């Protein structure tokens, strides 16, 4: 059996940067608190907790004094930084540069459009960690849409500026953009909305690469944390391309019956899945292959 690890898999830049910053602080002996899970991957999270990192929520943040807090790649709203300043907290800011740039753009367009009653619309998932930081740039006045039925929240007689959470599906964004433009023209002929494609190219660019990788395999094993939005999106691409795709959280989830007639197996994962975990899964498949003499 041939086992191939996807050469394009592994941490995206933002997640990798956050983990490096956490490790640097922990290796220096510093006690750090991480505001929310640094990565949507239980094994990697447990590894960092074992090194001394403690995960906290916003309620705990308000109670902390004179401590060091890491802000993960998803970013945070301005209110978090205000709490940190008032509580004399040292911030290790690991906000992904792409997310930070998007926050700045939303902040600028929202505040410059207040007089004209411009509506800032964000295509994203309500409750997602990144969305809290993005909406916070508008004092939480942004209109969040995740599907076409949410467009009823928009007043199409007023100016509209559309942005997207960085991890959203580009095809879905295109559909939402088209529908917003259509309704805007109907409500106000001659007037078009401003649409900004702010989806991360590193994430969206993996889609065609994943399709190509999955196409030539008998079986594909996708490794991701269960609460990873990016993992759910990328796995669906794999499953649609290759029906013999299976999602696992780790090597212990791999099942021997998946490989009974397989000669070429691929292993890939979410942008929150470390390469070491992909290697663990590949080794487990090798063990199964040897025991079954495949």
Whether 130 sits among the annotated catalytic residues: the reply is: yes
CA distances to 169, 237, 252 from 111, rounded to whole Å, are 27, 37, 50
d(CA 102, CA 124): 13
Catalytic residue among 23, 63, 130, 257: 130
The token pair that represents 191 in the structure block: 């007037």
**Residue 246, CB-side half-sphere exposure with 13 Å CA sphere:** 19
Domains identified in the chain and CATH numbers: 2-10+203-292 (3.40.1010.20), 13-96 (3.40.50.11270), 98-200 (3.40.1010.20)
Q: Is the pLDDT of residue 133 over 60?
A: yes
201 confidence band (pLDDT: 50, 70, 90): confident
- Mean of per-residue pLDDT scores for the chain: 93
User: What predicted TM-score, i.e. pTM, was given to this entire model?
Assistant: 0.86
Question: Lowest-confidence range among 75-79, 92-96, 126-130?
Answer: 126-130
d(CA 286, CA 91): 43
So what's the pLDDT on residue 72? 96
So what's the pLDDT on residue 294? 46
Q: Is the pLDDT of residue 40 over 80?
A: yes
Give the residue among 109, 275, 132 at the shortest CA–CA distance from 194. Answer: 109
Give the residue among 28, 34, 35 at the shortest CA–CA distance from 49. Answer: 34
Task: Identify the burial level of 234 via C-beta atoms within 10 angstroms of its C-beta, where 0-12 means exposed, 13-18 middle and 19 or more buried.
Answer: buried
> Stretch 76-93: mean pLDDT, rounded?
97
Query: pLDDT tens across 176-195, in order?
Result: 999 999 999 888 766 668 99
So what's the pLDDT on residue 293? 64
The token pair that represents 124 in the structure block: 């994203």
């Amino acid at each position: 059996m041939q086992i191939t690890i996807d050469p394009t898999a592994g941490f995206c830049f933002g997640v990798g940067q956050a983990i490096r910053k956490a490790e640097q602080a922990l290796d220096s002996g510093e006690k750090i608190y991480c505001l929310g899970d640094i990565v949507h991957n239980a094994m990697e999270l447990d590894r960092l907790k074992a090194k001394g990192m403690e995960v906290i929520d916003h309620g705990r943040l308000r109670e902390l004094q004179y401590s060091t807090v890491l802000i993960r790649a998803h970013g945070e709203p301005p209110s978090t930084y205000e709490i940190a300043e008032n509580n004399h907290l040292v911030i290790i800011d690991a906000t992904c540069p792409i997310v930070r740039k998007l926050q700045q753009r939303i902040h600028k367009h929202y505040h410059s459009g207040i007089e004209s009653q411009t509506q800032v619309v964000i295509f994203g998932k309500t409750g997602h960690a990144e969305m809290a930081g993005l909406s916070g740039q508008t004092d939480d006045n942004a209109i969040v849409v995740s599907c076409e039925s949410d467009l009823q929240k928009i007043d199409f007689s007023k100016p509209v500026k559309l942005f997207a959470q960085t991890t959203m599906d580009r095809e879905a964004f295109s559909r939402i953009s088209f529908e917003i433009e259509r309704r805007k023209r109907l409500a106000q002929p001659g007037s078009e909305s401003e649409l900004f494609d702010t989806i991360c190219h590193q994430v969206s660019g993996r889609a065609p690469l994943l399709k190509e990788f999955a196409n030539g395999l008998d079986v594909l094993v996708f490794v991701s944390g269960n609460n990873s939005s990016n993992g759910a999106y990328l796995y669906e691409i794999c499953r649609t391309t290759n029906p013999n795709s299976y999602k696992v959280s780790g090597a212990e989830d791999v099942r021997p019956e998946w490989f009974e007639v397989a000669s070429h197996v691929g292993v890939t994962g979410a942008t929150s899945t470390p390469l070491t975990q992909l290697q663990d899964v590949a080794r487990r498949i090798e063990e199964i292959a040897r025991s079954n003499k495949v």
